[in-house]
Structure 1
Amino acid sequence: MKKIKEKKRGGIFLYTLALCLVLLTGCSSIQRQSGGDKRTEPRGNVSSEVGNTSREDNEPAAREFEITGKVITADENTILFLQDGEENGGLADFGTSDVLFYDQEGTELEAKALRPGMRIALSAAADSTSVERYPLGITGVHKVRVLEQQNDVVGLYLDILKAVYGADTALNDKITIAALDLTKEENLSKQEKEALRYLFWSYLTNAQESLPDGGSGHIDVMLSTWEELTEEGLIDKENLDFPEGILITIKAGQIKNDSFRFDVEKWRSGLGAIGYDSCEGTFEDGAGTYRLGAAWIS
């Protein structure tokens, strides 16, 4: 009997040992599976926590955004610039008050050091607002960095338009439309053509308002060709007459070695036009000058 009891105890011991091994194996399996879950779930949580921490740590940088563009006009109070990447215009401005200006090396500049043609990068607060007007008004700008000086092509073309508009002023009598045909010039982007249109409109508006009698009233400036104006019925094709306006056409070649050749004309009718052929535009340190060529009148 004693041996039988020992055998039973031995069997019980073996059974118990086997059961423990099974339980240990199951626990190990559960621990490995749970550990996998822990490695997976906390990753999402850790990533989220790290992301939150990163956002908090970088909160000042996150509250800023940067815009790059090209200066069109600059004075002590306002900078008008053309934003990069805006297909249908992109003109915007901002005030110079409380704005820090720096050159390419990081040396601080005065606002008056900015010149047309400069490419700039401006930093503004992410919570800044924009004034919904044209040009777009940007607030919250606190830093402007000059990237490089490029040619002030828009400014030079504006000077040319002013000169042609001021020649034979009888052609401008009582006009309400000034159309610009820039389809045959090779130096302005679509954005820059729109900027030029706006600047010429501003110039004509100010010129009209400065006259003693207020001028001939409001003048619309549009980008259009002779054919388009004819199709719209603004130009009388049969009588060759533009009763309400003038058409200024500029034909220009590409800029090479900081210079280019161009022809320009102002047309009111078949018997009322003036132009200049074989003209030249040149740039030096970004600033442009021009020389009008042979003049003709019809």
Structure 2
Amino acid sequence: MKKTALPLVALCLALLAGCGPADGAALPSESPADTSAVLVDGAPWFATFRVVAGAETGELVLAANDGTSGEVYVLNTEGVSLDRPVENGELINVYYEAVMESFPCQFSNVTAVEHTETERDDRCGLYLQVLSDLWEVDPGLNTNLEELAVDLSELTDLSESEKAAVTWAFGNAHCLMPITGTWEELVEAGYIDGENLSWNGNGCLFTLSGSADGTFRADKWASGLGAYTFSDCTAKMGKDGSWSYTIGYEAIS
């Protein structure tokens, strides 16, 4: 069966047009606190981002804090003046001159990164941990994958940009460009044979649904006879903004 592009597979494009200033904000009249950057004529744009992953290495994966776009941003903090390390889950202001039209979007001439001093909430890190744990169980379902699909459409407590960033970070961790879409959309696009309940190739679909504020579920599906589920999961946020979770029960088919 011929595979066609999914309506939601923007994450799989090599280039994305229109990656301009993330929220159109102009630089305030005074320099940001806690940075030594000198901002003069034609000063850079700035925008606020959620740090989704990469704080440990300085290769940050960011989600736009406006919450409406599905764009993903990456930022290497090497050479950027910081008063203290950036942490996953916090909100930061990034001051920059332009954004490259690539996927993920990349910044040009970053002059400063500013901590916003808002409460840290690393629920993106929670979901990345859940996806990583699900990857490790019954590994035969996702060994030597050619196609990795991710469906976060029924996850209710992340913005569209956060969902996109979590999806990209998960795929990048396994050296795969993820496909986004529901099971039905993957069938329609030709990735999955809906009649025989199997992939047209070597693929696996990872799905998260629900909310960390209530209960959530995590599934991976390789075929009608190859699936694994974490069900009735509950999570708790610590005082530092990190999350832990408990699986209600696990199921295999």
TM-score, normalised on structure 1? 0.64
Q: Does 1:83 find its partner at 2:67?
A: no
1:250 corresponds to? 208
Aligned to 1:72: 52
Task: Report the 3-state secondary structure (helix = DSSP H, G, I; strand = E; otherwise coil) of the residue aligned with 1:281.
Answer: strand
Judge conservation of contact 1:252–1:261 (CA < 8 Å) in 2. yes
Q: From 146, 154, 163, give the equivalent of 2:133.
A: 163
* Change in 2 beyond 3 A, CA 1:133/1:156: same
Helix, strand or coil for the counterpart of 2:121? coil
Gaps of 5+ in 1: 1-58, 102-108, 206-218
| Distance (whole Å) between structure 1 residues aligned to residue 59 and residue 211 of structure 2 | 32
TM-aligned CA distance change 1:170 to 1:294, over 3 Å: same
Aligned mate of 2:226, from 272, 276, 279: 272
The C-alpha deviation readout for 1:276-297, integer Å capped at 9, x for no partner, is 2111122112112222221111
Cα deviation 1:148-181 (Å, max 9, x = unaligned)? 1331121111111111111101112342112112
Q: 1:202 to 1:164 in 2, by over 3 A?
A: same
Q: Report the counterpart of residue 60 of structure 1 in structure 2.
A: 40
Are 1:295 and 2:253 matched, yes or no? no
Alpha-carbon separation, structure 2, partners of 1:267 and 1:248: 7
Aligned length: 210
* Cα 1:248–1:122 shift into 2, 3 Å: closer
Change (3 A) 1:145 1:179: same
Identity of aligned residues (%): 27
Equivalent residues in 2 for 1:20-99 (5 A)? 60=40, 62-73=42-53, 74-75=55-56, 77-85=58-66, 87-99=69-81
- SS class of match (1:238): coil
Correspondence list, 1:149-228, <5 A? 149-205=119-175, 219-228=176-185
CA shift for structure 1 position 131: 4.5
User: Which deviates more from structure 2 when the two are superposed, residues 141-150 or residues 188-197?
Assistant: 141-150
SS of alignment partner, residue 167 of structure 2: helix
Give the number of the structure whose residues are more often helix, by fraction: 1
Alignment pair present for 1:141 and 2:110: yes
Q: Can you give the 5+ residue segments of structure 2 that lack an aligned partner in the other structure?
A: 1-38
Task: Classify 1:131/1:266 alpha carbon distance in 2 versus 1 (closer, same or farther; 3 Å).
Answer: same
Match of 2:193, SS state, is coil
Q: Provide, for residues 106-128 of structure 1, a one-character-per-residue CA deviation record: whole Å limited to 9, x for no partner.
A: xxx22x2x21111112334xxx4
Between 1:89-98 and 1:266-275, the stretch displaced more is: 89-98
Deviations 1:88-147 (A, max 9, x none): 314131424141x3xxxxxxx22x2x21111112334xxx45454333332433332211
- Contact 1:72 1:80 (8 Å CA) reproduced: yes
Deviation (angstroms), 1:275: 1.0
Measured after TM superposition, the shift of residue 80 of structure 1 is: 3.2
Q: C-alpha deviations, 1:55-97, integer Å up to 9, x for none?
A: xxxx826424322221223135443322344613141314241
Q: Provide the alpha-carbon RMSD of the alignment.
A: 2.3
